[in-house]
Amino acid sequence: MPSLLELKDVHTYYGNIHALKGISLHVEQGEVVTLIGSNGAGKTTTLRTISGLLAPRQGEISLGGRRIDRVPAHDIVKLGVSQSPEGRRIFPRMTVQENLEMGAFGRSDKAGIAEDVERVYALFPRLRERLVQKGGTLSGGEQQMLAIGRALMARPSVLLLDEPSMGLAPVLVEQIFEIIKDINKQGTTILLVEQNALMALGVATRGYVLQTGQIVLEDSAQALSENEMVQKAYLGLE
């Protein structure tokens, strides 16, 4: 059986800058896999390459055994990969409800879309209270909820989460990570990029450590959290 998502020797460039230098990783059905690393390590570039926003110059990306590294980004969403981007990137002048509807732009199953809107409101009750409010007037935490909710509206088999805790108060960070666990329990596989390595390893099954565009460690989340190098570099432990 092929992995749900697999990258083999992926090289991605920004112009002449070699950002990903032979990334290989896999995500199995039902897992939460996290990528941890410092700023500039290549975490967001990895997600953008999977999403089709960047084209790898070398290597293969496959979803359920089907190659997607030459598929346009909007078709990758239809195949089952959606992303909640770093910085949220919601539509500020659209209401909460309209933002969620935009997440389902590639779908035509009205009953299924309505069902998924309800699912999002069940996960994020605060969004239901603000469904006619403009996205740009929401708090940072509410915007993050909306960004994740919008990504879920594509009904993805793999959800890519890029820095979901960025800029949030600690109490909201805990809330967001509890919801990430709930989303996974409901059957969505997750690839998580997160600066807060402690929280990320707390919800993940497995993890990869990136340094300057290369994977330097791969292990279970438990083993990574006990790894001396990871503790010193990413968990703030001496």
Is residue 38 domain-resident? Answer: yes
76 lies in some domain:
yes
Q: Is 118 helix (H, G, I), strand (E, B) or coil?
A: helix
Which of 29, 63, 86, 36 is CA-nearest to residue 219?
36
**CA gap 222, 201 in Å, rounded:** 7
Q: What is the pLDDT of residue 96?
A: 93
One-letter amino acid of 88: R
Q: Is residue 139 part of a domain?
A: no
How many domains does the structure of the chain reveal?
A: 1
Contact of 127 with 120, CB cutoff 8 Å: yes
Query: Are 95 and 136 spatial neighbours (Cβ–Cβ below 8 Å)?
Result: no
Is there a domain that residue 132 lies in? Answer: no
Average pLDDT, the chain: 92
pTM of this structure: 0.92
Question: Cα torsion for 216, 222, 5, 185, to the nearest 10°?
Answer: -160
Q: Which domain holds residue 32?
A: 1-80+157-165+195-238
Residue 115 lies in a domain: no
Locus of tokens 């890519």: 160
Let me know if residue 185 belongs to a domain: no
Q: Is residue 99 part of a domain?
A: no
The maximal CA–CA distance of the chain, rounded, in angstroms, is: 53
Q: 25-34 pLDDT, tens per residue?
A: 999 999 999 9
Asked if the structure places residue 146 within a domain, the reply is: no
Sheet holding 158-162, edge to edge: 81-84, 158-162, 189-193, 32-36, 206-211, 214-220
Tell me, what amino acid is at 139?
S
179-189 pLDDT, tens per residue? Answer: 999 999 999 99
| Cα dihedral value 214, 220, 226, 230, nearest 10 | 10
CATH number for position 36: 3.40.50.300
